[in-house]
Amino acid sequence: MIVWLTGNSGAGKTTQARKMMREGDILLDGDELRECWPELGFSSADRWISNIRTAHLAKMLEGQGFRVYVATICPYRMLRDVVHGITGCRFLYLGGGQPNSEEYPYEPPTKKERLGSFLGVTVKMKAQVRV
Protein backbone atom coordinates (compact mmCIF):
# COMPACT_ATOMS: atom_id res chain seq x y z
CA MET A 1 0.00 0.00 0.00
CA ILE A 2 1.17 3.51 -0.82
CA VAL A 3 -0.26 6.54 0.97
CA TRP A 4 0.71 9.89 -0.56
CA LEU A 5 0.35 12.89 1.76
CA THR A 6 0.39 16.21 -0.06
CA GLY A 7 -0.33 19.85 0.71
CA ASN A 8 1.41 23.18 1.08
CA SER A 9 4.82 23.61 2.62
CA GLY A 10 4.47 23.38 6.39
CA ALA A 11 1.12 21.57 6.29
CA GLY A 12 2.46 18.73 8.45
CA LYS A 13 2.82 16.03 5.79
CA THR A 14 5.87 14.39 7.35
CA THR A 15 4.55 14.75 10.89
CA GLN A 16 1.23 13.13 9.96
CA ALA A 17 2.94 10.35 8.00
CA ARG A 18 5.10 9.51 11.02
CA LYS A 19 1.98 9.30 13.19
CA MET A 20 0.37 6.85 10.75
CA MET A 21 3.39 4.59 10.33
CA ARG A 22 3.92 1.22 11.97
CA GLU A 23 7.14 -0.69 12.46
CA GLY A 24 8.62 -1.72 9.12
CA ASP A 25 6.86 1.01 7.12
CA ILE A 26 8.89 3.34 4.92
CA LEU A 27 8.66 7.13 4.71
CA LEU A 28 9.73 8.95 1.57
CA ASP A 29 10.01 12.58 2.65
CA GLY A 30 10.11 15.24 -0.06
CA ASP A 31 12.74 17.36 1.70
CA GLU A 32 15.04 14.37 2.11
CA LEU A 33 14.42 13.14 -1.43
CA ARG A 34 15.50 16.51 -2.84
CA GLU A 35 18.98 15.69 -1.57
CA CYS A 36 18.94 12.57 -3.78
CA TRP A 37 18.46 14.65 -6.92
CA PRO A 38 20.08 18.04 -6.23
CA GLU A 39 19.97 18.96 -9.92
CA LEU A 40 16.23 19.63 -9.56
CA GLY A 41 14.86 22.99 -8.50
CA PHE A 42 11.35 24.22 -7.82
CA SER A 43 10.10 24.84 -11.35
CA SER A 44 6.97 23.10 -12.56
CA ALA A 45 9.05 20.77 -14.76
CA ASP A 46 11.35 19.87 -11.87
CA ARG A 47 8.39 19.18 -9.59
CA TRP A 48 7.05 16.78 -12.22
CA ILE A 49 10.37 14.95 -12.46
CA SER A 50 10.77 14.76 -8.67
CA ASN A 51 7.26 13.39 -8.12
CA ILE A 52 7.54 10.84 -10.92
CA ARG A 53 10.88 9.59 -9.57
CA THR A 54 9.34 9.36 -6.12
CA ALA A 55 6.35 7.46 -7.51
CA HIS A 56 8.60 4.87 -9.17
CA LEU A 57 10.65 4.49 -5.98
CA ALA A 58 7.49 4.07 -3.87
CA LYS A 59 6.13 1.48 -6.31
CA MET A 60 9.40 -0.46 -6.21
CA LEU A 61 9.38 -0.50 -2.40
CA GLU A 62 5.72 -1.55 -2.32
CA GLY A 63 6.60 -4.39 -4.69
CA GLN A 64 9.13 -5.59 -2.11
CA GLY A 65 6.40 -5.84 0.51
CA PHE A 66 6.71 -2.49 2.28
CA ARG A 67 3.90 -0.13 3.17
CA VAL A 68 5.10 3.25 1.89
CA TYR A 69 4.16 6.73 3.04
CA VAL A 70 5.13 9.59 0.76
CA ALA A 71 5.15 13.10 2.24
CA THR A 72 5.79 15.57 -0.52
CA ILE A 73 4.21 18.42 -2.42
CA CYS A 74 2.38 17.15 -5.50
CA PRO A 75 0.77 20.41 -6.61
CA TYR A 76 -0.91 19.69 -9.93
CA ARG A 77 -3.99 17.57 -10.54
CA MET A 78 -2.60 16.13 -13.77
CA LEU A 79 0.62 15.21 -11.95
CA ARG A 80 -1.37 13.48 -9.20
CA ASP A 81 -3.21 11.55 -11.92
CA VAL A 82 0.14 10.40 -13.37
CA VAL A 83 1.46 9.50 -9.90
CA HIS A 84 -1.72 7.55 -9.19
CA GLY A 85 -1.34 5.72 -12.51
CA ILE A 86 2.19 4.66 -11.55
CA THR A 87 1.49 3.76 -7.92
CA GLY A 88 -2.24 3.23 -7.40
CA CYS A 89 -1.70 5.26 -4.22
CA ARG A 90 -4.29 6.87 -2.00
CA PHE A 91 -3.84 10.63 -1.69
CA LEU A 92 -4.36 12.54 1.54
CA TYR A 93 -4.45 16.32 1.17
CA LEU A 94 -3.42 18.31 4.23
CA GLY A 95 -4.69 21.87 4.25
CA GLY A 96 -3.12 24.70 6.17
CA GLY A 97 0.53 25.18 6.85
CA GLN A 98 0.64 28.60 5.25
CA PRO A 99 3.74 30.58 6.17
CA ASN A 100 3.68 32.55 9.41
CA SER A 101 1.21 30.50 11.40
CA GLU A 102 1.93 29.91 15.09
CA GLU A 103 2.47 26.22 14.50
CA TYR A 104 4.75 26.77 11.50
CA PRO A 105 6.55 30.10 11.83
CA TYR A 106 7.59 31.83 8.62
CA GLU A 107 11.04 31.02 7.36
CA PRO A 108 12.18 33.21 4.47
CA PRO A 109 12.58 31.26 1.23
CA THR A 110 16.10 30.35 0.24
CA LYS A 111 17.66 31.90 -2.86
CA LYS A 112 16.91 28.67 -4.75
CA GLU A 113 13.26 28.88 -3.74
CA ARG A 114 12.99 32.56 -4.69
CA LEU A 115 14.33 31.78 -8.16
CA GLY A 116 11.80 29.01 -8.68
CA SER A 117 8.20 28.30 -7.87
CA PHE A 118 7.65 28.44 -4.12
CA LEU A 119 4.48 26.53 -3.31
CA GLY A 120 2.11 28.40 -1.05
CA VAL A 121 3.86 31.68 -1.87
CA THR A 122 4.31 32.07 -5.64
CA VAL A 123 2.40 28.94 -6.73
CA LYS A 124 -0.96 27.95 -5.26
CA MET A 125 -1.69 24.33 -4.36
CA LYS A 126 -4.69 22.88 -6.16
CA ALA A 127 -6.67 20.93 -3.56
CA GLN A 128 -6.86 17.18 -3.90
CA VAL A 129 -10.17 15.50 -4.51
CA ARG A 130 -9.23 11.79 -4.68
CA VAL A 131 -9.18 10.04 -1.31
Query: 44-91, pLDDT tens digit by residue?
Result: 999 999 999 999 999 999 999 999 999 999 999 999 999 999 999 999
Q: What is the pTM of this model?
A: 0.76
CB under 8 Å to 61, separation ≥6 — which residues?
A: 26, 28, 68
Radius of gyration (C-alpha) of the chain in whole angstroms? 14
**pLDDT(100) > 50:** no
- Domain extents in the chain: 2-115
CATH number of 2-115: 3.40.50.300
